Amino acid sequence: MIRAVSIYDFYDNPLFYTNFARFDLSYVAAMRTILDVKEHLIKNLEHITIGRYRIGIMLEPDYTISVLADRTNKEEEIEGFLRGVWKILKDHFGDNITPESLSNTEKQEKLEEFLEKQIKRIPVKITFVGSGGVGKTTMINLLAKGIITRDYKPTLLADVEKLEFSLGAFGISLFSVAGQPGYRKTWDIVSEATDIVILVLDSTQENIRETKIEVLPKIRKLAPYARYVAIANKQDLPTALPPATIEEEIGLPTFGMVATKEDSRQKLLAILQEIIQTIP
């Protein structure tokens, strides 16, 4: 997912900056280092990987465009985004990329609006992972269609849905993987380039054990740079362990849920919004 955008002038002074989600990288310091050596870069489009992040830069004769994205974003996605920013700068500012031109409120608002449109074209990929019968498909149907599914039909390959609306600046694509052990070999296809993994549990001690021993290690190996949270589903059952206990056991931020309740869709959307905006 795209986290921040910045523009620098010919002398590498910052002209514009905006961010759309949190991050724990020193983006300013990283860009200062990159700009100090930019004359040694061969291409006008470059990518620098730092931990869980990827910085894309476009070098123009009179200015530099930079985007901070997740490492899960493909290089072609970032390059397309940079070219889009370049086009809007040309269309609205021409060759006049200066502090004075970028301080124009109306043009700044147009630039912000364009950036959000560009970001929506690179949807955040959220993959629901867990054992069979924990509620992954129920949550996806609830989010994408507003339908509460009560009959259990095992997912054999994957469920794929796209939200028809955005969360903040971001479009959302939803995936779930087959939970049955015999179908877990398909996870590598679905988990490719996943931005966020939501681990779904049925809130039982047995399921926690399976999640810790089998599910979590497998998906972490396939999606090492994704952000991870957990949803403790079926909190209405008498044997359900509380989210705080599950969070302590598996070491991930954990949200409680009853996915078959009428108000669960809004609660799920609020959880997604919080994950996207607050987890760096």
Q: What is the pLDDT of residue 49?
A: 95
DSSP per-residue codes, 5-35: EEEEETTS-EEEEEESS---S-HHHHHHHHH
Contact between residue 197 and residue 228 where contact means Cβ atoms under 8 Å apart:
yes
**Domain 124-278 carries which CATH code?**
3.40.50.300
Q: What is the pLDDT of residue 100?
A: 77
pLDDT digits (tens, 9 = 90+) for 237-266: 999 999 999 999 999 999 999 999 888 999
Residue 181 scores a pLDDT above 70: no
Domain-by-domain residue ranges, the chain?
Answer: 2-120, 124-278
Structure confidence at residue 156 as a pLDDT band (50, 70, 90): very low
Structure confidence at residue 180 as a pLDDT band (50, 70, 90): low
DSSP per-residue codes, 233-270: --TTSTTPPPHHHHHHHH-S-EEE--TTSTTHHHHHHH
**Domain 2-120 carries which CATH code?**
3.30.450.60
Q: What is the pLDDT of residue 103?
A: 75
**Phi, psi values for residue 259, rounded to 5°:** -70, -10
Reported pTM: 0.89
